Every structure is written in C-alpha cells, then in structure tokens.
Structure 1
C-alpha cells in the first residue's frame, strides 16, 4: 500500500479472539459476498463490478439506494449501490488513450476476484469483549483477466485491489492501482455512491462552499459554489474539484445523516437525475426513486493521474452513517 502523510484514520477495529467474530458468506451461485458484524451491520458486494449493493446499520436500516430494476446477473452495470469507475469517467475523450472504452470504463462491467477477508493486526484489543468491530473484504481485477476486446481498447498492464471495510461507525472503500508494466498510463477513478435519503426535498449537502465545479446540466460551464447548504430541486450533475475540505455531509431535516470523507481524492460529483432523466433510464425504478437518493461520488476525475511502470496509487472514502 502507498504510505501517505496526513491521511484520515481508517475505521479502528477492536476485538477479542474469544468474542463473537464477523461472518463472511459467499452466495451459492458464487456471485456475491456478504459480511456481517456481531452487532448487526452488514455489507453485500456483487463480484460483477465489485459493486457494493447493500450496506445496513446494526438496526437493519439500509444506507444505499438500489434500483428495483437493477440488473444483478452480470450482464450490465448495476444501477445503484456503489459502482466503481475506472480508468475513465464519463464519455472518453477522443484524443486520449481511453478513447475506445465505454463510458465510465470497464471496472464496473467485469467480474472481480474475491481475494479474501482480513482485519488490522495493529488494532488495539477491546476490553469490552464485544468482538471484532470491522471486517475488510479485498477484491482484485487484473489486465490479464480482462476480455480480449477490452485489452485491445486499453492495452496496459495493471492491477487493481479494491478494499471494502465494514465497521460499526461506517463503510470504507479504498482503491489501489498499480502499473504492472513498463509503459506509463493515465487514469481516472470514481466511487459512484448512491446514498439513500427519506426525502430529497428535505435533504441538503454541505462541505462544498467556495469549491469550483463544472455544471454538466449547464453545458459544462464553470462555477463556484456559493451555498453553504445545497438543496436539490431539479436535475443536478456537478463535478466539484480541487476540494480543500475533506468531508462532504448529507443532512436530512437539518440533521446529519452521512459524512463522506475523501482520502487522497480531490473531486466529488453531486448527481440526481430528477424527473426527466430518471424517466429515460430503463433500469431506474421506481421512476420517482430520485426523491429518495442522492449521489455523492468521490474520485479523481477532473484531470488524469499518471503512473509510471512499477508505481502505485491509492485513494478512497469513508462513509459514516449518522442515524
């Protein structure tokens, strides 16, 4: 892993070997991994795209929005949850090495390998006897495992390790990218998180004041955020970049609901399709589902990250559920 100064603390595991331990189950069709903590928190990851499709609190409350018509059979990217975008965000530029790839790249459209579970060896032990408080699931995607067509469109040797850590205080998702070849390559990465909210009309987003952003709804024009608390009253598709504050928060009725903390990522996409865009997406259902979700997507997408041969990069997020 890459050692970086001043990175936010990971979810701190505590536990006792004699106490109840987290459980990890592989589905009978080998399509998904489910992890549960002794205190009831759970996460479910589809191996297709390494897509997190469920994350629940200890009381069973779901934190992620998943379309009722999301395709989960590995035939297309999942609508909802946390899809992974790599190595390009949005439609690929015509003058870039990713130009032949589909929108949002190939990571969300390929099956990943489950590498196993683990926990921190340096974590302090719990004196309460409550058992381990975290479980980390690792998933891998490598250039050698890509279909030949994808290899031709982006012929670089790479290795991705995506770590999903479930804790009592939240969910952490981290991506490690390594250039396994000799030729340098450039990439973008994003975690397309669909957060579930009770009512979008009573939801506000904070932590983006004074941040520059590109507004894709307004012909990709440049703006600066002037609102401390952003309300969503129509289609929103903004790429906030060069962010100085690490945390973007989602509030419901003025009360904190989620904190999204970026780690080595400077950009955040804020997205809600609203009425017309939702109606045009066949896998978005119910059609008024936009009233109960908001995408706060951390990433490095406003520019390109370059890796020379043998180099690696790591970045991700910690989402805290504040119910």
Structure 2
C-alpha cells in the first residue's frame, strides 16, 4: 500500500485518510479541483492522476483535446498524462507486455493528502500501488512498487513531482515522463530554447540521432524528438512579440521530449479539433533515454516546474 512514510524527508507530512474540504480545494468522485484566492485553478482526474486544466494569468495553459475521453475508458489526450514505467513500447524487457507509455496514466489513483501552507499555493498528493492495478496489468508487470505524485499550484507555476519506491524483493527499472501538452497561441510563432548542442533522437526520421544546431527550435512540420541529457532550463518563447510563455525547470529529469503531430493529428482518433495542433506543443520532462534502476528498498524522485 502506498503510504506517506515512503516519501523522503523534505516531502514528509502526516498521512491522512480523509481530506479536509477547504474552500480552495474541491474533491469530487472522479477529480480534484484546486483554487487559489488570486484566481488560479487546476483540475486533476483520479483516472491517471491526469491534470486536465491549469488556468493562470487569466488563461488556460494546457491543451486538452475536445475528443479526449475523461471517463476512464482510455488515456486522456491532452493535459499532463503521467508516463510510467515505460516510455513508448519496449522489446526484450520486463515492460514489453505493457501498453505504450505504461499503466500510470490508465490507472485510478488514490488521494493521499492536501496540505495548504498559505494562500500562495495548494498541494495535492496521489498514490498508486499494486493494489490499484488490474489483474491483467499485474501479470504484465508483477513488481512491487509505490508511487507518490504531488501536484502544487502557485500563482505563477504548476509543479509536479513523482516519487518512485521499490517495495519488493527484487530489483527492477523504469522510465518516467510528464507528458505535458502546453497551449500556445500559434505553434508556428513559438520557439523552444535551451536545446542547442544537445543530442536528440528523431522519431520522425526513424530514431536517427542528430545534434540540435539552433538556438531556437521552431515548428513548421511534425516534430517528435527525444533530447538526451539536456543541461539546463528550457523555455517556450513567443518569437513574434519576444516574450517567454513558459519556463520549464527540471529536477532529476535528464531528458526533454518535444512533440507536435502537425497534420498527422487528423489520423489520431481522439485528437480534436483536427487543426488543434496549431495551438499546442508538448514539452515533456522525463527520464526516458535510458532505464532508471531500482534496487530493493530504494527510491527515486524527479519533478518539473512550469512557470508563466
């Protein structure tokens, strides 16, 4: 069973089984809604612990497909789905029986706690363990684990943090990724910075490796790249007005995935509207270019803060 005692010291707060329904947090049967007095909001489904809305600065900051399934029937297209324990599909690996991107985004999580220290932020924690998985998923990946997923809303940022613990008697390894769909006014007029000189795997080109040569990565066609061992902060800028839209800061997450399906969006059944790709750009912080090993009793933590 996932428990608060599995968190490292800086995250430890007393475990509670019931949540006090403060005025800034609303708990519904399938989701949690967070509110700040200054007007910022976030909405997280229990299904997948998927963040489906983040409103700050008077605007929606996440792209959510108008065809996204929010009833638990399939992974959510948009928002911030959580990838664990495998990125994509694997072969000749213990995760190779799992569906693409693993089971975290398609499992129902438990609410562990909300803790508000001031009017400046609100936090909610979700837990996932073997007892939350289906019988079939346990057969596909039989390891014992505990996950704590923390979402923190502030006036200017959305912070997400994942704690992974090996609670079994044998080692295993995993990938993790925060699959963030950022909303942008016009994808052809934005650029991603902070990637120059970084090696990437170009999935559009069959996984070919290359090195980013541009100070500003712009989008004019389908892009699906895994940037490996990105050294610093990544930003999304509006190059038309010279303004930073988002700053992406990572903790213990070496890799950054940049994805936009372009007109291929028309072939994705749950992507809508068909031209919605013009207003979204996935900038995804993760640990996916290599496997993260987990010895018995060990834990790993990684997180990302997206600021406006």
Q: Tell me whether the two structures share a fold, i.e. TM-score over 0.5.
A: yes
> Which deviations, in whole Å up to 9, do the C-alpha atoms of 1:267-315 show, x marking residues without a partner?
000000000x201111100000000000000000000001111110000
Gaps of 5+ in 2: 1-6, 12-21
- Aligned residue runs from structure 1 range 267-282, under 5 A: 267-275=255-263, 277-282=264-269
Tell me the equivalent position of 1:84: 82
Inter-partner Cα distance in structure 2 for 1:83 and 1:282: 17
> Which deviations, in whole Å up to 9, do the C-alpha atoms of 1:138-177 show, x marking residues without a partner?
0011012211100011000000000000001201000000
Inter-partner Cα distance in structure 1 for 2:131 and 2:171: 17
What do you get for the CA RMSD once the two structures are aligned?
1.4
Inter-partner Cα distance in structure 2 for 1:284 and 1:258: 23
Note if contact 1:79-1:284 (Cα within 8 Å) is conserved in structure 2: yes
> Which deviations, in whole Å up to 9, do the C-alpha atoms of 1:46-81 show, x marking residues without a partner?
11000000000152x100000001000010000000
- Aligned residue runs from structure 1 range 130-145, under 5 A: 132-145=119-132
1:208 aligns with 2:195: yes
Tell me the equivalent position of 1:126: none
- 1:44 aligned counterpart, secondary structure: strand
Q: Which runs of 4+ in 1 moved over 6 A?
A: none
Inter-partner Cα distance in structure 2 for 1:132 and 1:96: 46
Tell me the equivalent position of 1:310: 297
Inter-partner Cα distance in structure 1 for 2:39 and 2:230: 34
- Aligned residue runs from structure 1 range 56-95, under 5 A: 56-59=55-58, 61-92=59-90, 94-95=91-92
Gaps of 5+ in 1: 5-9, 11-20, 121-130
Inter-partner Cα distance in structure 1 for 2:162 and 2:23: 22
Structure 2 length as normaliser, TM-score? 0.92
1:289 aligns with 2:276: yes
Inter-partner Cα distance in structure 2 for 1:201 and 1:178: 41
Note if contact 2:57-2:156 (Cα within 8 Å) is conserved in structure 1: no
Inter-partner Cα distance in structure 2 for 1:269 and 1:2: 27
1:230 aligns with 2:217: yes
Note if contact 2:107-2:132 (Cα within 8 Å) is conserved in structure 1: no
Inter-partner Cα distance in structure 1 for 2:108 and 2:179: 17
1:119: how far off?
Answer: 3.6
Structure 1 length as normaliser, TM-score? 0.87
Inter-partner Cα distance in structure 1 for 2:287 and 2:295: 17
> Which deviations, in whole Å up to 9, do the C-alpha atoms of 1:86-139 show, x marking residues without a partner?
0000012x210101000000000111011120145xxxxxxxxxx520111000
Inter-partner Cα distance in structure 2 for 1:3 and 1:303: 27
Tell me the equivalent position of 1:249: 235
- Number of aligned residue pairs: give it: 290
